[in-house]
Amino acid sequence: MLRTEMPEPKTTAEQWQRCSVWALLPLLVKAVVQWAGVILGGAYLSFSERFQHYAPYALTALALLIIGSAVLNWRSTLFRVSAKGIELSRGVLQKEHLLLAKSRVQELQVQQPFYFRPLQLFTVSLDSAGSQQQEFYLTGLTASQLTLLQGGAQASQHSPSTAFFRLWLATLYNKHLWLPLMAVCGAVLSQLDGQVGEQLVAQGGEMLQQAGLEQSLTVQLAVSFALLLLVALVLVLMSWIWLYPQHFLRDDTQLQLIQGSLLKRSQRILKKRVQLLRLNQPWLARIFGHFSVIFHGFTNSQEQSSKFVVLGQGIDEVNQQLEAQQLLTLSELQQLAWQRFAPVYFRRLLWLRGGVILLLSLLIALLVKTQLIAPGTGCSLAGMAALWLLADWWAYRRWHGFYVQDQVLYLWQGGISQCWQILPLWQVQKVQLVQSLFLRKQQLVQLRFDTANGSITLAAIPNQQARELYAQVLSWRHSIAHGLPDASTRITARS
């Protein structure tokens, strides 16, 4: 008697799944963008007397075409998670099937636009090694489908969030957050017509003049306080929309960051793909003892950022992150015997900053001569700029250095602001020895280490010391590459 084995039924995860029907909303917007040229052409022809009679039929056909393309896109896009990896099938006339092994997933970003918040739906993009674009982009995913793609690991919403006050302060001292602030200010100013603004200023001046308060110090202080209060309110809205709450999750394999209340965003980087770690502490953050921890991950995509910034971290939280990455803590770093850059490098830097101070002084003198600013204000601005540049130069010369331990390069760049850069040397892909005319004359070398996402530069070290470090990195090439066989660990050298 011949017995045949029945195939095992596929699990729910291995079955092909489709995104929520609410995914038609962004797909309709995408279809409108794709057919924007046809829409504009049809709108132009609808005003023509010759084609005005056919306009209703053309508009109906165009609407059906847009809606039909969005529906077909939604119906034909399927995905599943199987033992082979993550699979995606899409297309109607031209079918496309993608298979991405889980081990090749370099970055997974999760976003939750405001129109998906009430529906608890998400948008996911995945990148892999060796690619120049996104492999997967899925919108309208449910929470269970998101958990399935993430392998069941995601940051809990009940995990503690960074305090709102810390995130609000981070909007002041983090430069990458100034762009949204300028965008908000630009949007407000664009809504105000030039003549309307002039009329408001003129009416306000007349009211103050009638009351005899146009030179009142109290009024000037009140206006200044109102402007500061307006800026503080804008920063509060930015923090609530983009940053708060901030949840950070670390496990044995990955790091995940969730930020934002209205515009929710989630990012993930594999732990072994962290190629560079930066600890930034601008001068304002130093007053409060806060840090920004920047993780640089590995991705070849030119469209997606491969780093995320954990804002408003205290020294204890930073030390926990460093220990989790098996790195020296801040207290241990401060006790190291740092190797310094050549003193002649700082003398040259002093001359350069002196030139900058001279140019600023000439510019301010020109503004004073044209009566754009008062002489006292000009002198104050020039003095503060010169004092700041010289103090920052002195602090940089006083607090800086680099150190190599356990095949990890630590670079400390001090100054009024502080920055620590930590680079595991097995992540280096390219080493460069650079000598300008000045460095060659002083027998110095600039040594640069490049990874797939970020670089570290030792500004000016002796030639012999640079050659020795250069040789050490190359000598670790084969031993480290055998331990981590991924392409991101290969090192190439160029002098």
Does 35 share its domain with 142?
A: yes
Can you tell me which residue has the tokens 């017509």?
A: 193
Residue 384 CB coordination number (10 Å): 10
Does 415 share its domain with 391?
A: no
Can you tell me which residue has the tokens 């990458």?
A: 176
> Distance between alpha carbon 188 and the CA centroid of its chain, in Å?
25
CB of 278 within 8 A of CB of 419?
yes
Give the single-character DSSP code of 393. Answer: H
pLDDT of amino acid 393: 93
Does 291 share its domain with 373?
A: no
Distance CA 473, CA 471 (A): 5
User: CA Rg, the chain, in Å?
Assistant: 29
Does 446 share its domain with 325?
A: yes
Distance CA 88, CA 80 (A): 7
> Is residue 6 in some structural domain?
no
Last-in-domain residue among 398, 422, 438: 398
pLDDT of amino acid 478: 56
Does 318 share its domain with 187?
A: no
CA distances from 424 to 151, 327, 429, 467 (A): 27, 9, 11, 19
**Is the model more confident about 275 or about 53?**
275
pLDDT tens digits for 375-401?
888 888 889 999 999 999 999 999 999
> Is residue 266 in some structural domain?
no
* Burial zone of 144 (CB within 10 Å; 0-12 exposed, 13-18 middle, 19+ buried): exposed
pLDDT tens digits for 308-317?
889 989 888 8
Confidence of residue 1 (pLDDT cuts 50, 70, 90): very low
Q: Which of 426, 480, 468 is nearest to 449 (CA)?
A: 426
Q: Which of 80, 78, 110, 103 is nearest to 91 (CA)?
A: 78
CB of 167 within 8 A of CB of 243?
yes
pLDDT tens digits for 217-229?
566 677 778 778 8
Whole-number percent of the chain with pLDDT over 90: 16
C-alpha count within 13 angstroms, C-beta hemisphere, residue 59: 11
- For residue 269, what are the β-bridge partners? 107, 255
Look at the pTM and tell me if it is higher than 0.85.
no
Characterize 340-368 residue by residue with b for buried, 16 or more Cβ atoms within 10 angstroms of its Cβ, and e for exposed.
Answer: ebbeebbeebeeeeeeebeeebeebeeeb
> Is residue 231 in some structural domain?
yes
- For residue 455, what are the β-bridge partners? 450
Q: Give the contacts of 232 (CB within 8 A, at least 6 positions apart).
A: none
Does 378 share its domain with 476?
A: no
Last-in-domain residue among 379, 398, 417: 398
Whole-number percent of the chain with pLDDT over 70: 75
Distance CA 260, CA 241 (A): 5
Does 282 share its domain with 370?
A: no
Distance CA 279, CA 412 (A): 10
Q: Give the contacts of 45 (CB within 8 A, at least 6 positions apart).
A: 51, 55, 58
Provide the mean pLDDT of the chain: 77
* Structural domain of 226: 164-191+214-243
Query: Where is mean pLDDT largest: 160-164, 183-187, 375-379, 461-465?
Result: 461-465
Give the single-character DSSP code of 95. Answer: -
Does 356 share its domain with 313?
A: no
Distance CA 108, CA 269 (A): 7
> Is residue 253 in some structural domain?
no
> Is residue 171 in some structural domain?
yes
Does 311 share its domain with 429?
A: yes
Residue 339 CB coordination number (10 Å): 14
> Is residue 12 in some structural domain?
no
Q: Which strands make up the sheet holding 430-434, listed edge to edge?
A: 454-462, 444-451, 430-434, 492-494
> Is residue 252 in some structural domain?
no
Does 391 share its domain with 405?
A: no
Distance CA 257, CA 155 (A): 7
Does 410 share its domain with 394?
A: no
Q: Which of 429, 428, 422, 419 is nearest to 403 (CA)?
A: 422
CB of 260 within 8 A of CB of 241?
yes
> Is residue 424 in some structural domain?
yes
Residue 369: pLDDT above 80? yes
Token pair for 314: 């205290």
**Helix (H) or strand (E) run with residue 63 in it:** helix 55-76
**Is the model more confident about 156 or about 217?**
217
Does 366 share its domain with 450?
A: no
Count of domains forming the chain: 4
